[in-house]
């Protein structure tokens, strides 16, 4: 929320908020240059001419827990309730490229997402779900290539050709070094793998969004709105440079790039943030990279409401927070949206809370008038001034990243991480002092909280996954697996695209852990520097 300091107020990015805005706030402001028209450069007003007046955003619900069987049942319920796109959460061992029976996975199997160890689990996860009819987003980064190939293999078994598949893999490893930590390989081979994914998808899965460059996790770690878009767009620039250096034409892959941002309760600054991000990206792609295809200039993004702002105290109040956050995302022009469940600060969402979260989006889409017109805040004195202010603050941070040699070098210097940590510390201080009001936490508390029964993951899942892995290893052709893994390592040592031998290994029922271990043997693992 906006901070108060005496009579002066400031945004989450520390920018001043004036009590009243008028024409003088936009003195010298060029509407044609700064705004343009909806669906046209610089896309400040949205990436499509009609935005939601033709159809609403894609309503995704992020889900995945325990076993593939349990998650499959939840997906079918969400589809029945009107979800237009699935969004898969994977457990930590899967995100880190470890099998469920690896010692390092102990205690984490199925806890924060679904455990996927092999093609056997992926078949169960999407059993009975027509992959040519749904759009699927997968929140997976370092091993994103593996999960995409498993998805493609399951689609092939369903008889669905790869050119019919639509969806997104997050595949944004740079933000893992900055804010989240689920990295595997060092930056250089990680970027090589991402370039291989871009090339593979252009040839094999042309409608797939190959990366979702993410600011959400930076925001959850404490980044301000200006930091969120600055560091996210800086990462995006690094990915584009990597692909161009690998011999790709920018217009061959840039239209499939997408982004992922948070939506906070501070509606005005969030709307301004989204508009500023679109404008910055369009200009970078046009001026630095010489992109010609208008789709290469479009910053298309998914939004998730701010989990970090949800509270375990009086959790029902989170229903209000999520509705406000969802409204901010819609007014800001998001292409798809996940609304958090009100009980996520306590445990995994229940069926009822997940349904209520989806209903929140449906109310916004069908019971309000925000879908009746494109970019409702265009021309607003306060929003246009805030857009300019956030843009200027973000560009200043992006210039500091460039001065350090780009996103990867800045990561090695610990720049983004230290900036975000300072912001997080400021937020914690403001909350502790009461300057930042958090309803139910430091103001308007209850003497005693009402009891709430959360959804819990069965601890027996870990043993069940281990049994499945033992059966798989006993049934499969071990020689075929070894041969495929050897071919994968040979490709990783050279310059061939690693996704083709990787797909062969996964088809032969190699596990996620085995494939990642083969690459670890060639590329090594990332160890943070002392700068962190």
As beta bridge partners, residue 441 has none
pLDDT of residue 530: 55
The answer, yes or no, to whether residue 208 has pLDDT greater than 70, is yes
**Between residues 448 and 158, which one has the greater pLDDT?**
158
How far CA 117 is from CA of 62, 129, 168, 456, in Å, comes to 20, 20, 20, 21
Q: What is the mean pLDDT of residues 136-143?
A: 95
Checking if the pLDDT of 128 tops 60, the result is yes
| Helices and strands of the chain, counted as H and E runs | 21, 12
Could you tell me if residue 461 is left (phi over 0), alpha (psi between -120 and 50 degrees) or otherwise beta?
A: alpha
**pLDDT computed for residue 64 by the predictor:** 74
Q: Which two tokens stand for residue 335?
A: 């292409």
Average pLDDT over residues 62-70: 83
Token pair recorded at residue 7: 């009579």
Which pLDDT score is estimated for 409?
A: 96
CB of 37 closer than 8 Å to CB of 45: yes
pLDDT of residue 457: 74
Least confident of 21-35, 136-150, 207-221: 21-35
Can you tell me the mean pLDDT for 206-226? Answer: 97
What is the per-residue pLDDT for 3? Answer: 54
% of the chain with per-residue pLDDT over 70: 98
Cα–Cα distances (Å) from 373 to 49, 50, 112, 290, 507, in that order, read 11, 8, 38, 32, 48
Residue 320: is its pLDDT beyond 50? yes
Q: What is the 3-state secondary structure (H, E, C) of 72-96?
A: HHHHHHHHHCCCCEEEEEECHHHHC
Q: Is the pLDDT of residue 18 over 60?
A: yes
Question: What is the band of 239 on the pLDDT scale with cuts at 50, 70, 90?
Answer: very high
Query: Which pLDDT score is estimated for 4?
Result: 52
pLDDT in tens, 453-477: 776 778 899 999 999 999 999 999 9
The string of pLDDT tens digits covering residues 273-318 is: 999 999 999 999 999 999 999 999 999 999 999 999 999 999 999 9
Query: Residues 6 or more apart from 8 whose CB is under 8 A from it?
Result: 16
Enclosing H/E stretch for 450 = none
| Closest listed residue to residue 111, CA positions, set 307, 357, 452, 347 | 347
Q: Which of 463, 455, 41, 92 is nearest to 283 (CA)?
A: 41
Q: CB-based burial of residue 429 (10 Å sphere; 0-12 exposed, 13-18 middle, 19+ buried)?
A: exposed
pLDDT at 6 over 50: no
Average per-residue pLDDT for the chain = 94
pLDDT at 110 (0 to 100) = 92
Which two tokens mark 461? 């899942």
Which CATH architecture fits 3-15+57-311+318-367+374-433? Alpha-Beta Barrel (3.20)
pLDDT above 90 covers what percent of the chain?
86
**What does pTM read for this prediction?**
0.92
Q: Rounded to an integer, what distance in angstroms lies between the CA atom of residue 82 and that of residue 233?
A: 32
Which has the minimum average pLDDT: 47-51, 330-334, 345-349? 345-349
Is a pLDDT exceeding 70 seen at residue 499?
yes
Q: What is the pLDDT of residue 453?
A: 75
Q: What is the pLDDT of residue 155?
A: 98
pLDDT in tens, 371-406: 999 999 999 999 999 999 999 999 999 999 999 999
Per-residue pLDDT at 1 exceeds 80: no
CA–CA distance, 307 with 309 (Å, rounded to integer)? 5
In the predicted structure, residue 235 carries a pLDDT above the cut 50: yes
Q: pLDDT of 472-488, one tens digit each?
A: 999 999 999 999 999 99
- Contacts for 413 with CB less than 8 Å, ≥ 6 apart: 404, 531
pLDDT of residue 390: 98
Q: What is the pLDDT of residue 532?
A: 39
């Amino acid at each position: 929320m906006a901070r108060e300091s005496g009579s002066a107020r400031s945004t989450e990015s520390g920018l001043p908020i004036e009590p009243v805005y008028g024409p003088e706030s936009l003195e010298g402001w060029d509407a044609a240059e700064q705004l343009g028209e909806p669906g046209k450069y610089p896309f400040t007003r949205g990436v499509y001419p009609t935005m939601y007046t033709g159809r609403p955003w894609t309503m995704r619900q992020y889900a995945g827990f325990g076993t593939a069987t349990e998650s499959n049942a939840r997906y079918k319920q969400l589809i029945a309730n009107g979800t237009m796109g699935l969004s898969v959460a994977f457990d930590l061992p899967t995100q880190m490229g470890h099998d469920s029976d690896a010692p390092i996975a102990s205690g984490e199997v199925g806890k924060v997402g679904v455990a996927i160890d092999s093609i056997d689990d992926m078949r169960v996860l999407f059993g009975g779900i027509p992959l040519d009819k749904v759009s699927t987003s997968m929140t997976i980064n370092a091993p994103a290539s593996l999960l995409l190939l498993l998805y493609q293999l399951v689609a092939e078994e369903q008889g669905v050709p790869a050119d019919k598949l639509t969806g997104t893999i997050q595949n944004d490893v740079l933000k893992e070094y900055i804010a989240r930590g689920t990295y595997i390989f060092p930056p250089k081979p990680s970027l090589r793998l991402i370039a291989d994914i871009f090339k593979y998808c252009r040839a094999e899965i042309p409608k797939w969004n190959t990366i979702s460059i993410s600011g959400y996790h930076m925001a959850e770690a404490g980044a301000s709105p200006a930091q969120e878009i600055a560091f996210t767009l800086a990462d995006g620039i690094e990915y584009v440079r990597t692909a161009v250096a690998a011999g790709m034409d920018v217009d061959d892959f840039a239209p499939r790039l997408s982004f992922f941002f948070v939506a906070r309760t501070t509606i005005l600054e969030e709307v301004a943030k989204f508009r500023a991000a679109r404008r910055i990206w369009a200009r970078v792609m046009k001026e630095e990279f010489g992109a010609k295809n208008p789709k290469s200039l479009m910053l298309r993004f998914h939004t998730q409401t701010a989990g970090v702002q949800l509270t375990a105290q009086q959790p029902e109040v989170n229903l209000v927070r999520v509705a406000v956050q969802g409204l901010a995302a819609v007014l800001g022009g998001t292409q798809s949206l996940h609304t958090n469940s009100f009980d996520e600060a306590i445990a995994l969402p229940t069926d009822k809370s997940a349904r209520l979260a989806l209903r929140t989006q449906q109310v916004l889409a069908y019971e309000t008038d925000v879908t009746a017109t494109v970019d409702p805040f265009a021309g607003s004195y306060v929003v246009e001034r805030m857009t300019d202010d956030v843009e200027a603050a973000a560009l200043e941070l992006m210039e500091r990243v460039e001065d350090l040699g780009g996103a990867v070098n800045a990561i090695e210097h610990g720049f983004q991480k230290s900036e975000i940590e300072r912001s997080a510390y400021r937020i914690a201080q403001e909350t502790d002092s009461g300057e930042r009001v958090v309803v139910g936490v430091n103001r308007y508390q209850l003497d005693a909280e009402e009891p709430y029964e959360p959804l819990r993951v069965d601890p027996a899942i870990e043993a069940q996954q281990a049994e499945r892995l033992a059966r798989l290893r006993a049934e499969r052709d071990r020689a075929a697996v070894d041969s495929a893994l050897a071919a994968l390592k040979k490709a990783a040592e050279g310059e061939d695209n690693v996704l083709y031998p990787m797909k062969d290994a996964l088809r032969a029922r190699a596990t996620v852990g085995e494939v990642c271990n083969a690459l670890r043997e060639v590329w090594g693992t990332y160890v943070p520097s002392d700068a962190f």
